[in-house]
Amino acid sequence: MIPLIFNLGTTLLSHIVRAQGFVSDFGEKPPRSTMSYVLPFVGMGFSFILVKYRERIGDMLGEAHWMVKIGGVYYVLVYIAIIIFFWSIAELTDTTHIFLAPLTVILPFGDNKTDF
C-alpha cells in the first residue's frame, strides 16, 4: 500500500512540476553519448601511465615545497592517478553524484542540503 501511495505522490508531483514549466519531465536525464563511455577509459589509461612513468614525469615537473610535506612529487603523482582512476570509474558507471557527495558538504557551493 505504501509503495502505491509513494508512486502516486511522485507521479502527481511530476505532473505539477511539468505544468509549472520548471522541467520537461520529473527525473529525466539526457541520453549518454559515446564520449561519456570513451573518456573514462582514456582516464584510466592516463592514470596507469602516470603511475608507470611517475619518475620521468616527476623529474620533469620538479619538486615544490608543499609536495615534500605529503611524500614528494612521486607520491603526489600517485595520488593524482588514484583520483583520476576512481573518477573515471564513477563517470563510467554514472555515479559521480555519489562519488562527489562528500565535497558538497565540505565546500561552500553545490547542492548543500544543510543551507538555511
pLDDT, one tens digit per residue, over 39-53 is 999 999 999 999 999
* In-domain check, residue 78: yes
For residue 45 the three cell numbers come to 589509461
Q: Helix, strand, coil proportions of the chain in percent (round to 5)?
A: 70, 0, 30
Q: Which tens digit of pLDDT belongs to each residue from 14-29? A: 555 555 555 555 556 6
The stretches in the chain having pLDDT less than 50 are 1-9, 115-116
The per-residue pLDDT for 43 is 95
pLDDT for res 89: 93
Domain count, the chain: 1
Residue 55 lies in a domain: yes
* Residue 66 belongs to domain spanning: 34-97
Query: Can you give the pLDDT at residue 58?
Result: 93
- Count Cβ atoms within 10 A of the Cβ of residue 39 and give its class: 0-12 exposed, 13-18 middle, 19 or more buried: middle
Determine the residue type at 26: F
Q: Per the domain annotation, does 1 fall within a domain? A: no
Residue 28: its pLDDT value, please? 62
Helix (H) / strand (E) containing 91? helix 73-92
Neighbours of 14 (CB within 10 A): 15
Distances (CA, A) of 99 to 38, 91, 109: 19, 9, 16
Predicted local confidence at residue 5, as pLDDT: 47
Residue 51 within a domain: yes
**Cβ atoms within 10 A of the Cβ of 76, count?**
19
Whether 76 is in a domain gets the answer: yes
